[in-house]
Amino acid sequence: MNQVLLITGGSRGIGAATALLAARQGYVVAVNYRQDVAAAGQVVASIQGSGGQARAIQADVSSESDVERMFREVGQQLGTPTALVNNAGILEQQTRVEHLDANRLRRIFETNVIGTFLCAREAVRCMSTRHGGQGGSIVNVSSRAAVLGSAGEYVDYAASKGAVDTLTVGLAHEVAGEGIRVNGVRPGLITTEMHASGGEPERVARLAPGVPMGRGGRPEEVARAILWLLLEEASYTTGAILDVSGGR
């Protein structure tokens, strides 16, 4: 039976690195993206060029109907998912809490929290032995921001990742007897395009001297931790949240 992995936000950054590594480990990979079809296509082409199997699937994870359609399409095109990486996430312009408004809070929480919950729900429906599934593995991509709080930058984003950590622990306990492991990673400062969304593309370089290891991380370094948690090598690990942050 094929091991089928769905990665949300798999078109760039940490998600793309995870897609490429997972394909090398033998997963059939569904690369979800929201709008950047070209970037998703590049990841798929790279996997196929190395003899792997992958498809790009557009869906906005904050939309319940999109998430349901995405899981249906993965099932039809690649097979029932046996693994999910809940990676899609957003942040917005750096600011202080007194400048946040409800619309921004809704956008952040709809993608980072509701999207993560909806995808986890669909994965459980596919994987749980309670629903006739074969079991599986889920990894939620959180952030060290959940612990550090991101003061003066994006406390909303940090709080949304705190919710993701709570989901990881609660869902892990809920489905532990149904063949599903649920774990999380908390990346630190990783060099991706995400920091440009906060208005500071060079943020990693500015903050790197304060990291105990003295540098930012690469997406591939997070991908390796995600893959370890996904795979059977981590067969007795559930409800765990692994910091991948150079000590920060």
Distance in angstroms (rounded) separating the CA atoms of residues 191 and 239: 27
Q: Binding residue for ligand NAP (CB under 6 A) from 20, 61, 159, 229? A: 61
Active-site residue, 157 included: yes
In whole angstroms, the minimum distance from the beta carbon of 236 to ligand NAP comes to: 26
Q: Convert residues 31-60 into a mask of x (bound to ligand NAP by CB under 6 A) and - (unbound).
A: -xxxxx--x--------------------x
Q: Binding residue for ligand NAP (CB under 6 A) from 4, 56, 83, 189? A: 189
Q: Binding residue for ligand NAP (CB under 6 A) from 5, 9, 18, 184? A: 9
Q: Does residue number 92 form part of the binding site for ligand NAP (CB under 6 A)?
A: no
Distance in angstroms (rounded) separating the CA atoms of residues 137 and 185: 13
Q: Does residue number 150 form part of the binding site for ligand NAP (CB under 6 A)?
A: no
Q: Binding residue for ligand NAP (CB under 6 A) from 3, 8, 53, 238? A: 8
Q: Does residue number 241 form part of the binding site for ligand NAP (CB under 6 A)?
A: no
Complex with ligand NAP: residue 30 or 88, whichever CB lies closer: 88
Distance in angstroms (rounded) separating the CA atoms of residues 41 and 58: 11
Q: Convert residues 118-147 into a mask of x (bound to ligand NAP by CB under 6 A) and - (unbound).
A: -----------------------x-x----
Q: Binding residue for ligand NAP (CB under 6 A) from 87, 168, 183, 238? A: 87
CB contact burial 72-89 (16+ within 10 A = b; e otherwise): ebbbeebebbbbbbbbbb
- Binding segment (CB under 6 A) for ligand NAP, from list 48-56, 73-81, 84-92, 124-132: 84-92
* Residue 68 Cα to chain centre, angstroms: 17
Alpha helix (H) residue ranges in 78-208: 102-109, 115-127, 145-148, 155-175, 194-197, 203-207
- Residue entry with tokens 């492991």: 181
Binding residue count for ligand NAP, defined by CB under 6 A: 30
Distance in angstroms (rounded) separating the CA atoms of residues 164 and 195: 20
Which one-letter DSSP state was computed for residue 188? Answer: -
Give which of 243, 239, 207, 201 is closest to 222, Cα–Cα: 243
Complex with ligand NAP: residue 53 or 111, whichever CB lies closer: 111
∠ CA 11-17-18, rounded to 5°: 95
Interface residues with ligand NAP (CB under 6 A) are 8-9, 11-15, 32-36, 39, 60-62, 87-90, 111, 115, 141, 143, 187, 189-190, 192-194
